Protein backbone atom coordinates (compact mmCIF):
# COMPACT_ATOMS: atom_id res chain seq x y z
CA UNK A 1 0.00 0.00 0.00
CA UNK A 2 1.50 3.34 -1.02
CA UNK A 3 2.06 6.06 1.55
CA UNK A 4 -0.03 8.58 -0.42
CA UNK A 5 -3.00 7.91 -2.69
CA UNK A 6 -2.65 8.60 -6.39
CA UNK A 7 -6.12 7.62 -7.68
CA UNK A 8 -9.01 9.93 -6.87
CA UNK A 9 -12.58 10.54 -7.88
CA UNK A 10 -13.64 14.15 -8.33
CA UNK A 11 -15.66 14.12 -5.11
CA UNK A 12 -12.87 12.50 -3.08
CA UNK A 13 -10.27 14.91 -4.44
CA UNK A 14 -12.36 17.87 -3.30
CA UNK A 15 -12.34 16.70 0.33
CA UNK A 16 -9.64 17.54 2.87
CA UNK A 17 -7.40 14.50 3.43
CA UNK A 18 -4.04 13.62 4.92
CA UNK A 19 -2.48 14.31 1.51
CA UNK A 20 -3.55 17.95 1.79
CA UNK A 21 -2.04 18.16 5.26
CA UNK A 22 1.26 16.71 4.08
CA UNK A 23 1.31 18.99 1.05
CA UNK A 24 0.98 21.97 3.43
CA UNK A 25 3.78 20.63 5.62
CA UNK A 26 6.05 19.95 2.64
CA UNK A 27 5.36 23.34 1.08
CA UNK A 28 6.18 25.14 4.34
CA UNK A 29 9.36 23.15 4.80
CA UNK A 30 10.40 23.70 1.19
CA UNK A 31 9.91 27.47 1.56
CA UNK A 32 11.97 27.58 4.77
CA UNK A 33 14.77 25.36 3.47
CA UNK A 34 15.01 27.16 0.14
CA UNK A 35 15.05 30.56 1.82
CA UNK A 36 17.70 29.58 4.38
CA UNK A 37 19.69 27.57 1.85
CA UNK A 38 19.90 30.40 -0.65
CA UNK A 39 20.93 32.85 2.08
CA UNK A 40 23.60 30.45 3.31
CA UNK A 41 24.96 30.01 -0.21
CA UNK A 42 26.61 33.42 0.25
CA UNK A 43 27.97 32.77 3.75
CA UNK A 44 28.73 29.04 3.81
CA UNK A 45 28.48 27.74 0.22
CA UNK A 46 28.63 24.03 1.02
CA UNK A 47 25.96 24.19 3.71
CA UNK A 48 23.89 26.51 1.59
CA UNK A 49 23.89 24.14 -1.36
CA UNK A 50 23.03 21.15 0.84
CA UNK A 51 20.14 22.95 2.54
CA UNK A 52 18.89 24.22 -0.81
CA UNK A 53 18.90 20.66 -2.14
CA UNK A 54 16.87 19.53 0.88
CA UNK A 55 14.40 22.31 0.00
CA UNK A 56 14.20 21.03 -3.57
CA UNK A 57 13.43 17.54 -2.26
CA UNK A 58 10.57 18.99 -0.21
CA UNK A 59 9.27 20.78 -3.32
CA UNK A 60 9.28 17.47 -5.19
CA UNK A 61 7.49 15.72 -2.30
CA UNK A 62 4.84 18.44 -2.23
CA UNK A 63 4.30 18.08 -5.97
CA UNK A 64 4.15 14.28 -5.80
CA UNK A 65 1.60 14.34 -2.99
CA UNK A 66 -0.84 16.99 -4.22
CA UNK A 67 -0.59 16.73 -8.02
CA UNK A 68 -2.90 13.68 -8.46
CA UNK A 69 -5.68 15.46 -6.57
CA UNK A 70 -5.20 18.68 -8.52
CA UNK A 71 -5.26 16.85 -11.85
CA UNK A 72 -8.54 15.12 -10.97
CA UNK A 73 -10.17 18.34 -9.80
CA UNK A 74 -8.97 20.10 -12.95
CA UNK A 75 -10.33 17.34 -15.21
CA UNK A 76 -13.71 17.53 -13.46
CA UNK A 77 -13.73 21.32 -13.81
CA UNK A 78 -12.99 21.07 -17.55
CA UNK A 79 -15.95 18.71 -18.02
CA UNK A 80 -18.26 21.08 -16.14
CA UNK A 81 -16.92 24.04 -18.12
CA UNK A 82 -17.62 22.30 -21.46
CA UNK A 83 -21.17 21.50 -20.36
CA UNK A 84 -21.69 25.08 -19.26
CA UNK A 85 -20.43 26.46 -22.58
CA UNK A 86 -22.67 24.08 -24.53
CA UNK A 87 -25.69 25.20 -22.53
CA UNK A 88 -24.72 28.84 -22.92
CA UNK A 89 -24.36 28.37 -26.68
CA UNK A 90 -27.85 26.83 -26.84
CA UNK A 91 -29.32 29.74 -24.89
CA UNK A 92 -27.57 32.33 -27.06
CA UNK A 93 -28.75 30.66 -30.27
CA UNK A 94 -32.30 30.55 -28.97
CA UNK A 95 -32.25 34.26 -28.08
CA UNK A 96 -30.88 35.20 -31.51
CA UNK A 97 -33.69 33.43 -33.36
Could you read off the pLDDT of 21-46 as tens digits, one per residue?
A: 999 999 999 999 999 999 999 999 99
Tens of pLDDT along 65-97?
998 898 898 988 999 999 999 988 888 876 666
pTM passes above 0.85: no
Closest to 26 in 3D by CA, of 56, 69, 68: 56
Q: How many residues does the chain have?
A: 97
More confident residue, 31 or 2: 31
DSSP secondary structure string for all residues of 35-92: HHHHHHHHHSHHHHHHHHHHHHHHHHHHHHHHHHHHHHHHHHHHHHHHHHHHHHHHHH
- Across the range 45-62, mean pLDDT stands at 96
More confident residue, 14 or 23: 23
Contact between 38 and 52 (Cβ < 8 Å): yes
Amino acid sequence: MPLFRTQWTAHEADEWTKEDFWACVFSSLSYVFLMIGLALCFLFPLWGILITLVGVVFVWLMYAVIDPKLRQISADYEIKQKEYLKNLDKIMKWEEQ
